[in-house]
């Protein structure tokens, strides 16, 4: 397979890089590793139906087409941690060890969100054949919509301007390395790094589940993507069953 980013499409404006990449991938017009990068999105997609907001030319706005038919775990949580680790690799190079991954795949600097990931899949015959991994990272934005609870950009941390397209190309290298580990070793080759970078692990934090608020301690995440929180007994939660409250929520 060609390396991720060997085909790198740059668009001035697009509705959403994920929507555009899904259109291309669904028609088999592009190969594995094709990247769609945009300077501006008019309908950027975030998780749970939210919009991803970014000033023109200020951010990494990219989606990557991946062939996932032969990957252990297909297009589920293993692919999610692959992308999250790659994004955190890039940010750790720039911002240091204060970069963590908030379960399942948001990327944080301290208690502030620096990037997010949205994965959409193409199924054929009930099996995952291709996936589109959307990655958004705040690069040069100096201020944000006040309705957003805790965003941060690379510029706000470092005081320096960066080239979003150049960083996106560097991110492709990190994603290529992490995807190669997933393809070769399966999710077990990534899980230790993921848990080592897990936001809030080992700290008492406020949560809410089934309408109940409580203080719990994150113990870790399994290869199935289930989060274990001690409260004081160990309880396992699937994505959407528990919410972390406060700055990291």
User: In this predicted model, what pLDDT tens digit does every residue of 96-151 receive, in sequence order?
Assistant: 999 999 999 999 999 999 999 999 998 877 778 899 999 999 999 998 888 888 99
For residue 126, count other CB atoms closer than 10 A to its CB: 5
Please tell me the predicted confidence (pLDDT) of residue 48.
Answer: 45
- Global pTM exceeds 0.75: yes
Please tell me the predicted confidence (pLDDT) of residue 73.
Answer: 64
Residue spans of the domains in the chain: they are 8-196, 204-244
Please tell me the predicted confidence (pLDDT) of residue 76.
Answer: 85
* Average pLDDT value for the chain: 91
Of 184, 188, 171, 189, nearest to 84 by C-alpha is 171
Which CATH number, 3.30.2350.10, 3.40.1260.10, 3.30.930.10, 3.30.70.2190, labels domain 8-196? Answer: 3.30.930.10
* Residue 74 pLDDT class (50, 70, 90 cuts): low
* Residue 55 pLDDT class (50, 70, 90 cuts): confident
**DSSP assignment string, 72-92:** TTTTSHHHHHHHHHHHHHHHH
The Cα–Cα gap between 183 and 174 comes to: 14
């Amino acid at each position: 397979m060609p390396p991720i980013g060997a085909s790198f499409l740059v668009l001035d404006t697009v509705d959403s890089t994920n929507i555009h990449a899904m259109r291309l991938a669904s028609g088999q017009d592009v190969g594995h590793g094709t990247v769609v990068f945009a300077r501006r999105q008019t309908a950027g997609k975030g998780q749970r139906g939210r919009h991803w907001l970014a000033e023109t030319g200020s951010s990494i706005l990219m989606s990557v087409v991946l062939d996932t038919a032969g990957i252990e775990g297909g297009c589920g949580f293993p692919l999610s941690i692959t992308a999250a680790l790659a994004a955190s690799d890039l940010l750790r190079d720039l911002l240091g060890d204060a970069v963590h991954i908030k379960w399942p795949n948001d990327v944080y600097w301290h208690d502030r969100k620096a990037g997010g990931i949205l994965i959409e899949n193409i199924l054929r015959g009930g099996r995952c054949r291709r996936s589109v991994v959307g990655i958004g990272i705040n690069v040069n934005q100096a201020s944000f919509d006040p309705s957003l609870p805790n965003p941060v950009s690379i510029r706000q941390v470092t005081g320096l301007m960066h080239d979003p397209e150049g960083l996106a190309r560097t991110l492709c290298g990190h994603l290529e390395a992490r995807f190669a580990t997933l393809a070769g070793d399966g999710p077990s080759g990534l899980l230790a790094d993921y848990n080592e970078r897990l936001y809030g692990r080992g700290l008492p934090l406020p949560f809410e589940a089934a309408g109940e608020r409580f203080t719990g301690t994150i113990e870790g995440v399994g290869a199935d993507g289930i989060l274990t929180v001690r409260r004081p007994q160990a309880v396992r939660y699937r994505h959407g069953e528990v919410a972390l409250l406060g700055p990291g929520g």
